[in-house]
């Protein structure tokens, strides 16, 4: 038995481990209830009486050395530099999942890029606006329904004078007014932003949505210039085979005014349920800036003319990606948003 103990002593002295798992395996092998040292303890009863003292001392020496060796290796692992000193344990688990651009952002950036190539710059303005910039400077009559609380969100209401109203802007035309107030032509801007209207929320309408409006004011600007810009925009956004159609319409801030349709990008203009069999889909309103609007904003309408156009980003996104419910854009449903991972 003494020979067996000596052999185990040699094994313990030569014991090494490269990681915590190997160290635990060695502890189980020598020091656990079913380990080699406990087996020696069980065999101790069979040792002759004259050898018990010597064997007992050897077993205790073996047990102590095994324990010391295990502890030394364990301390070595704890003190070892594992390269994690600069690890931030408060950060999110790695790998972090990458998000995607929102479909409205994708389409807005496309629109901005198209108009940027035509020389338009971006203009921005406040969402909480006064009545003058939203309505009065845009040639809206004082009794126009758009100024009522049924259609507009009011922050402050001037009971006797509509000019004192503070509202959430209903269109980004207010940005055009602010630019014309402080800038002399030539003016070539686009105004992307969020707008608000007092609408019942449904699959086809929402209380807030996004618009991009464009304004070009200079000498000798004609409707032909507007038509060429509209055609280029439609073909860049929906494909080179896209056709456009202009229909007479009415807006307080443009004269003449028109609404623009594009050939249905689903059926190619042949007629389908999406375009209600007409082959055409409306996408924006446009027209020549009304001379009254120019004068109200400090620009001489006898010298300068211009055109304006405006579109809903949700509308363009619906057509481009065939989204049939406006509410999906604001519900933050990651299943919906993940569908646009490859869209940019």
pLDDT in tens, 135-167: 889 988 777 666 665 588 888 886 667 777 888
Question: Architecture of 103-340 per CATH?
Answer: 2-Layer Sandwich (3.30)
pLDDT at site 178? 94
pLDDT for res 145: 67
Residues of the chain with pLDDT under 70: 1, 44, 80-86, 144-150, 158-160, 344
Within 13 Å, how many C-alpha atoms sit on residue 314's CB side?
18
Q: Measured between alpha carbons, how far is 57 from 151 in angstroms, rounded to an integer? A: 97
SS3 269: coil
The DSSP H or E segment spanning 331 is: none
pLDDT at residue 84, rounded to an integer:
62
Closest CA to 236 of 275, 262, 257, 272: 262
Give me the pLDDT at residue 221, please: 95
**Partners of 156 in the beta sheet?**
166
**Beta 121-122 vs 187-196: how paired, if at all?**
parallel
| pLDDT of amino acid 233 | 95
Residue ranges per domain, the chain? Answer: 2-79, 103-340
Supply the pTM of this predicted model.
0.69
Residue 323 CA, distance from chain mean position: 17
């Amino acid at each position: 038995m003494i020979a067996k103990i000596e052999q185990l002593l040699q094994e313990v002295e030569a014991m090494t481990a490269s990681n915590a798992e190997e160290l635990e395996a060695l502890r189980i092998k020598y020091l656990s209830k079913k380990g080699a040292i406990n087996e020696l303890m069980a065999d101790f009863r069979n040792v002759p009486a004259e050898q018990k003292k010597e064997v007992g001392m050897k077993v205790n020496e073996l047990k102590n050395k095994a324990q010391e060796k295990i502890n030394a290796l364990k301390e070595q692992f704890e003190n070892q530099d594992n390269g994690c000193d600069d690890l931030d344990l408060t950060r999110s688990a790695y790998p972090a999942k990458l998000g995607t651009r929102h479909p409205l952002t994708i389409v807005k950036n496309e629109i901005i890029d198209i108009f940027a190539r035509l020389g338009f710059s971006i203009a921005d303005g406040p969402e909480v606006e006064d009545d003058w910039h939203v309505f009065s400077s845009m040639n809206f009559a004082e009794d126009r329904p758009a100024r009522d609380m049924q259609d507009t969100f009011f922050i402050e209401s001037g009971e006797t004078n509509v000019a004192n109203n503070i509202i959430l802007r209903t269109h980004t035309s207010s940005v055009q007014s602010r630019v014309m107030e402080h800038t002399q032509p030539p003016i070539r801007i686009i105004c992307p932003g969020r707008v608000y209207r007092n609408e019942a929320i449904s699959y086809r309408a929402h209380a807030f949505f996004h618009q991009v409006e464009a304004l070009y004011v200079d000498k000798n600007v004609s409707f032909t210039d507007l038509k060429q810009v509209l055609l280029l925009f439609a073909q860049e956004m929906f494909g080179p085979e896209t056709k456009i159609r202009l229909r007479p319409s009415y807006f307080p801030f443009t004269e003449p005014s028109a609404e623009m349709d594009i050939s249905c990008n689903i059926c190619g203009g042949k007629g389908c349920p999406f375009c209600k069999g007409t082959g055409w889909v409306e996408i924006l309103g446009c027209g020549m800036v009304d001379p009254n609007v120019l004068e109200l904003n400090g620009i001489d309408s006898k010298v300068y003319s211009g055109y304006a156009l405006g579109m809903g980003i949700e509308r363009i996104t619906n057509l481009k990606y065939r989204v049939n419910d406006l509410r999906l854009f604001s519900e933050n449903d990651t299943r919906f948003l993940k569908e646009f991972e490859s869209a940019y």
